[in-house]
Amino acid sequence: MFLESIVVGPLGVNCYLVGDDATRDVIVIDPGGDARKILDVIEKNKLVVCAIVNTHAHFDHVGALTEVRDATRAPFWLHAEEARVLAYAQQSAARFGLAIPQPAPAEKLLHEGDVVSVGAISLRVLHTPGHTPGGICLLYANHIFAGDTLFQGSIGRTDFPGGDYATLMKSIGDKLFPLPDETIVYPGHGPETTMANEKAMNPFLQPLITGRWDV
């Protein structure tokens, strides 16, 4: 598997280039900013971008989407429940004093269980709402690209419009918590981690162990 992580934008989003090491076909996950930095890595490694996939559509994750999309001519894929979040990306950025181009709608809408294939690599879509209504994670073997669902030592915020704590905890409990301990978690912000580490050390996941997260 080809994997490159690039920290981009004013809020330090992890943009991932993931794909087939043999064919150099990749997808771009969460192009949040610094389009030129992302495109330089693509060009340096002679990569062919087959699709751009966003784990969710908050402005900090789509800041470079339009420019990367235009430069690569790759289609943009997003969960069906996230289209309304995307529609307000430019407005949301403006509230933080930032300017981004308003991204055009996705060419393909994703759903739970869909498979994103690139070369010999296939990533399965896990719908993990809670941070946003259409948040997703992408699972390949023992690698999961978790967006803002799960971080090292934390979880995604649920105080933005469309967020819901109980929904997020159910998503993590149903979709991520059962993953093998050795699963490597690549979050939308911050360092990578493992499910074993998060089960043992993440204070936000302890209620899933005690079964008292919804009281």
> In this structure, is residue 82 part of a structural domain?
yes
| CA distance linking residue 35 with residue 10, whole number of Å | 12
Q: At a CB cut-off of 8 Å and minimum separation 6, what does 108 contact?
A: 51, 75, 76, 77, 78
| Percent of the chain scoring above 90 in pLDDT | 95
DSSP 101: -
| CA distance linking residue 169 with residue 61, whole number of Å | 22
pLDDT, mean of residues 64-85 = 98
Predicted pLDDT of residue 77:
98
> In this structure, is residue 100 part of a structural domain?
yes
Q: How far apart are the first and last CA of the chain?
A: 42
Predicted pLDDT of residue 57:
98
Q: At a CB cut-off of 8 Å and minimum separation 6, what does 43 contact?
A: none
**Helix segments in the chain, DSSP class H:** 35-44, 59-62, 65-72, 83-86, 89-95, 165-171, 195-201, 206-210
| CA distance linking residue 59 with residue 88, whole number of Å | 8
Q: How far is CA 82 from the centre of its chain?
A: 12
Average pLDDT of every residue of the chain: 96
Residue 77 tokens read as 């894929």
What is the tens place of the pLDDT at every residue in 25-36?
A: 999 999 999 999
> In this structure, is residue 37 part of a structural domain?
yes
The domain spanning residue 46 has which CATH number? Answer: 3.60.15.10
Residue 107 tokens read as 């060419």
Domain residue limits at 88: 2-210
Q: Is 214 exposed, middle or buried (0-12, 13-18, 19+ CB in 10 A)?
A: exposed
Q: How many CB atoms lie within 10 A of CB 147?
A: 28
CA neighbours closer than 13 Å in the CB half-sphere of residue 98: 20
Residue 122 tokens read as 């296939």
What is the tens place of the pLDDT at every residue in 76-86?
A: 999 999 999 99
Which helix (H) or strand (E) is 91 found in, with range?
Answer: helix 89-95
Predicted pLDDT of residue 212:
60
> In this structure, is residue 215 part of a structural domain?
no
Predicted pLDDT of residue 207:
87
> In this structure, is residue 79 part of a structural domain?
yes
> In this structure, is residue 86 part of a structural domain?
yes
Confidence tier at 213 by pLDDT (50, 70, 90): low
Instruction: Report the number of distinct structural domains present in the chain.
Output: 1
Confidence tier at 215 by pLDDT (50, 70, 90): very low
> In this structure, is residue 74 part of a structural domain?
yes
